[in-house]
Amino acid sequence: MAKISFIIPIGPEEIAWQSLWKDLVHLDGGCQIILSATKAPLPEQQNLMDKRAKTSKALWLMGTAGRAKQLNAGAEQATSDWLCFLHADSRLTRDSLTKLQTLLASGSQDSLYYFNLNFRDGSQKFLLLNTWGTRLRNRTWGVPYGDQGLTIHRKSFENLGGFNETILSGEDHEFVWRALARGYKLTPIGAPIQTSARKYDQQGWVLTTLRHNLLGCFQAWQFGWKPRLQKLSRGQKPS
């Protein structure tokens, strides 16, 4: 089985990671869990870590706020060959984790891996619509988002320069576009990951989906279509 460092950025009042933590601590002891936060854990959170952890390879980091900065800080402390970046409100079954470890055991360093996204805890009438919208998003822009558990070899992550800390949002999508531009292959893990649908309920499905797709359109132009058009204008064959 592959050894993986799971890197989870945590917001100041975030508690959803506690459920994800319980999903991950049952893995092989060679794996590592890194919680990249902006402040020290509360006593009850520290007790949870101490009680549940079966390995000393569990780490709580404190650093500067900002998802890209927190992700990069976690990657710097990773000890495994593979890095898996997860949102705090993600949930993974044992079957999905086993499939990930098995795939990475013979995985290519030239690939960027991702899970299939499913939603939970939202209004039932929107859950299917959310799932359909995510699949359409992947087909439209051809790239996964960070809520799909982006996984990459640490050497490839370092070669790409990590996440861009100068942008305020969309650092995951921007990272994937850079990987594509450098010739990395996007490879589905073939297993599900769950994420919360609450932001769709709270902010509205149409508004949230529109915002995601506008950002996707901008980055698709910046990292996908624009370079290809520039190559065509110079008489070069686009990659």
Give residue-wise pLDDT tens across range 136-155: 666 655 678 888 999 999 99
Average pLDDT over residues 149-162: 97
Higher-pLDDT residue of 134 and 27 is 27
82-85 and 151-153: which strand pairing? antiparallel
Contact 215, 145 (CB under 8 A): no
pLDDT of residue 232: 45
CA atoms within 13 A on the CB side of 12: 3
Q: Which of 55-64, 69-78, 160-169 has the lowest mean pLDDT?
A: 55-64
185-196 and 111-120: which strand pairing? parallel
Closest CA to 92 of 59, 67, 118, 113: 118
Contact 14, 41 (CB under 8 A): no
Closest CA to 92 of 64, 120, 51: 120
pLDDT of residue 102: 93
Q: Is the dihedral of CA 57, 58, 63, 66 positive or negative?
A: positive
pLDDT of residue 151: 98
Report the distance separating Cα 205 and Cα 199, nearest Å: 8
pLDDT of residue 213: 64
pLDDT band for 50, please (50, 70, 90 cuts): confident
pLDDT band for 197, please (50, 70, 90 cuts): low
